[in-house]
Amino acid sequence: MARRAAPAAGVAVTSLMSMPAHRWWLLVALVAGFAAARAGVLPEDRADVLYHYYDGDNVQIDGPSLLVRKNIRETVSLFANYYVDSISSASIDVVTTGASRYEEERKEYSVGLDYLHDDTIMSIAFTDSNENDYKAQSLNISVSQDIFGGLTTVTMGYGRGSDDIFRNGPDGQPDGIFHEQADRRNYRLSVTQVITRNWLLGLYYEAITDEGWLNNPYRQTRFLDPGSSTGYSFQPEIYPGTRSSNAIAFNMRYHLPYRAAVHGGYRFFTDDWGIDAHNFDIGYTHPLQEAWILDISYRFYTQSKADFFSDLFPFQDSQNFLARDKELSTFVSHALRFGATYNLLRDGWKFLEKASVNVHYDHIIYDYDDFHDLRFRDENGAPLFSPGQEPLFDYSADVIQLYFSVWF
């Protein structure tokens, strides 16, 4: 299950605005290249083939994605997407609690359509995601409306997700004992405004409610235990059964006279678990000759910890809720992205209108303020530091995305 050792870079909820890093950064390409319809205009007919690779905290994730979108007449656009994560993990969450490296595969299928009526687009999409111990289905609907002569676009959306959580046994298959469920809902509102012919501004709001089993059946917390050789022992995490969160964001894009563009944005996230998070990003896009487009961007993220998070509890069952997930701790991350697009077939070829090859590379650094690294041991396996005195954890990750797009 990818979530049990997912790298952190935000609050771990099923929202694009606040998802774990490897998913957030991989979806940047999907959002930018495979963007949903803008009100009044259906997306173009196209096909995209993506390969993604993530490496960080001894976690490797890679796999392909294929998306095809086709318009029917001038009012309906259909799409289908196939996405795979092949995961191999020996992250700090795994090795410090006595578990061994695991390997698994997650497959995701999505289908949907956009329907255009005058200046309104109504959209619906269904996603099914499967791995051995986690199955998730979600349905999303939205309505976008152009107003004020197309200068303003208002979009409202609703999503409903249902998750089934299992626990694998030694054979890598569900043990047949543990089975929990979670229900997830999100409500979205956005306004996109054309300020001038070169300046575009977007405002976004999202409310998320989660209910059910919201923690991880594999992850454990630690507590002081004088009777243990290490000075501490472990017990399973205990989370609340509900979570409500809100996120508000804005971004802007300004086109420069020489065909280049700058963009930036800010996002604020808060929830009833005590987490407040801030995200800032800025970037620059530059055309080079007629065929190349170069991109560079920087992202800064910081968050406070959950109320029930602790790296080391004073004793077993010291409070009602217990968490030691590093994604719920206090940390900051810095991400630098480089990208290049090469436009092929600018004059078309047979039934193809155009094509492009795109590559993006991201380097992400994480620094944790209250999550300690327990891996420092002597040659006999004894801890080198007293409980709570271990070095703070940090790591870096690399993400590569390579995708090929054709329009027809």
pLDDT digits (tens, 9 = 90+) for 330-376: 999 999 999 999 998 877 787 888 999 999 999 999 999 999 999 99
Say if residue 327's pLDDT is above 90.
yes
User: What b/e string do you get for 261-284 counting C-beta neighbours within 10 Å, with b at 16 or more?
Assistant: bebbbebebbbebebebebebebe
* DSSP string over 301-342: EEEPPPTTB-SSBSSTT-SS-BB--GGGS-EEEEEEEEEEEE
**Band of the pLDDT at 39, cuts 50, 70, 90?**
low
Say if residue 216's pLDDT is above 60.
yes
Q: What is the mean pLDDT of the segment spanning 19-30?
A: 41
Q: Which helix (H) or strand (E) holds 397?
A: strand 392-407
**Band of the pLDDT at 30, cuts 50, 70, 90?**
very low
Distance of CA 7 to the CA centre of its chain: 10
Higher pLDDT, 257 or 284: 284
Question: Rounded to 5 degrees, what angle do the CA atoms 27, 404, 32 make?
Answer: 35
* pLDDT, tens digit, 9 for 90 and up, residues 128-154: 999 999 999 999 999 999 999 889 999
Q: In this predicted structure, what is the pLDDT of residue 31?
A: 41
Q: What is the mean pLDDT of the segment spanning 45-50?
A: 96
Q: How many Cβ atoms sit within 10 Å of the Cβ of residue 364?
A: 24
Say if residue 20's pLDDT is above 70.
no
Q: In this predicted structure, what is the pLDDT of residue 275?
A: 98
Q: In this predicted structure, what is the pLDDT of residue 37?
A: 41
Cα gap 123→196, rounded to integer Å = 28
Q: In this predicted structure, what is the pLDDT of residue 178?
A: 95
Q: In this predicted structure, what is the pLDDT of residue 203?
A: 97
User: pTM value?
Assistant: 0.88
Q: In this predicted structure, what is the pLDDT of residue 150?
A: 87
* pLDDT, tens digit, 9 for 90 and up, residues 162-212: 999 999 988 888 988 999 999 999 999 999 999 999 999 999 999 999 999
Cα gap 90→102, rounded to integer Å = 7
Instruction: Establish how many alpha carbons lie within 13 A of residue 113's alpha carbon, considering only the half-sphere containing its beta carbon.
Output: 9
**Band of the pLDDT at 3, cuts 50, 70, 90?**
very low
* pLDDT, tens digit, 9 for 90 and up, residues 220-244: 999 999 999 999 999 999 999 999 9
Say if residue 93's pLDDT is above 80.
yes
Are the C-beta atoms of 2 and 13 separated by less than 8 Å?
A: no
Q: How many Cβ atoms sit within 10 Å of the Cβ of residue 322?
A: 22
Say if residue 111's pLDDT is above 70.
yes
Q: Using CB atoms within 10 Å of the CB of residue 191, give its burial: 0 to 12 exposed, 13 to 18 middle, 19+ buried.
A: middle
- Sorted by sequence, the CB contacts under 8 Å of residue 240 that are 6+ apart come out as 214, 273, 308, 321
User: Coil, strand or helix: which one is 402?
Assistant: strand
Question: Rounded to 5 degrees, what angle do the CA atoms 215, 220, 222 make?
Answer: 135
CATH of the domain at 126: 2.40.160
**Region label for 282, one of left (φ > 0), alpha (ψ between -120 and 50) or beta (otherwise):** beta
Q: Look-up: residue for tokens 């010291």?
A: 318
Are the C-beta atoms of 321 and 308 separated by less than 8 Å?
A: yes
Backbone phi and psi for residue 18, each to the nearest 5 degrees, phi listed first: -155, 50
Q: In this predicted structure, what is the pLDDT of residue 128?
A: 98
Domain assignment of residue 255, given as a range? 2-407
Joined together, the tokens standing for residue 3 give: 């979530």
Closest of 275, 366, 402, 347 to residue 18, by C-alpha = 275
Cα gap 297→32, rounded to integer Å = 13
Joined together, the tokens standing for residue 228 give: 């243990």
Question: Rounded mean pLDDT of the chain?
Answer: 89
Domain count along the chain: 1
DSSP assignment, residue 33?
H
Say if residue 21's pLDDT is above 50.
no
Are the C-beta atoms of 47 and 78 separated by less than 8 Å?
A: no
Are the C-beta atoms of 7 and 59 separated by less than 8 Å?
A: yes
User: Coil, strand or helix: which one is 21?
Assistant: helix
Are the C-beta atoms of 21 and 8 separated by less than 8 Å?
A: yes
User: Coil, strand or helix: which one is 17?
Assistant: helix
Backbone phi and psi for residue 370, each to the nearest 5 degrees, phi listed first: -145, 25
